[in-house]
């Protein structure tokens, strides 16, 4: 699946507790773990589905994109 061009994922590492929920449930394998925290491995695959954002229990993930493009 092609990703969106203008999407950004912001991860607030100080709030991330490394639960891995975002990584596991990302349908396009955008996220991964490093030093116990989530990070953006490959933003080009991101479809801005926002599943990582709504499932992050710690308010650590924000998905930013231009909604008009969706």
Partner 1 sequence: MFEYEKYIRKNKFPLVWCSGCGDGIVLKALLRAIDSIGLEKENVCMVSGIGCSSRLTGYVDCNTLHTTHGRAITFATGIKMAKPELNVIVITGDGDATAIGGNHYIHAARRNIDLTVIIFNNFIYGMTGGQVSPTTPVGMLASTAPFGNMENTFNISGLAQAAGASFVARGTVYHTVMLEKLIKKAILKNGFSVVEVLSPCPTAFGRRNKSGTIIDMMNEQKDNCVTSARAERMSERELEGKTVIGELVNIDRPECSKQYRKLIERCRSGL
Q: Which residues bind partner 1 (CB under 8 A)?
A: 14-15, 17-21, 24-25, 50-51, 53-59, 62-65
Q: How far is the CB of 14 from partner 1 (least distance, A)?
A: 7
Minimum CB separation of residue 13 from partner 1 in Å reads: 11
5 vs 15, beta carbon nearer partner 1: 15
CA distance 1 to 52: 17
17 vs 44, beta carbon nearer partner 1:
17
């Amino acid at each position: 699946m092609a990703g969106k061009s203008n999407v950004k994922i912001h991860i607030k590492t100080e709030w991330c507790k490394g639960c891995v929920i975002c990584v596991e449930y990302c349908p396009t394998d955008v996220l991964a773990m490093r030093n116990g925290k989530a990070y953006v491995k490959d933003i080009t695959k991101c479809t801005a589905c926002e599943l990582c954002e709504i499932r992050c229990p710690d308010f650590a993930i924000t998905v930013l994109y231009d909604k008009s493009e969706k």
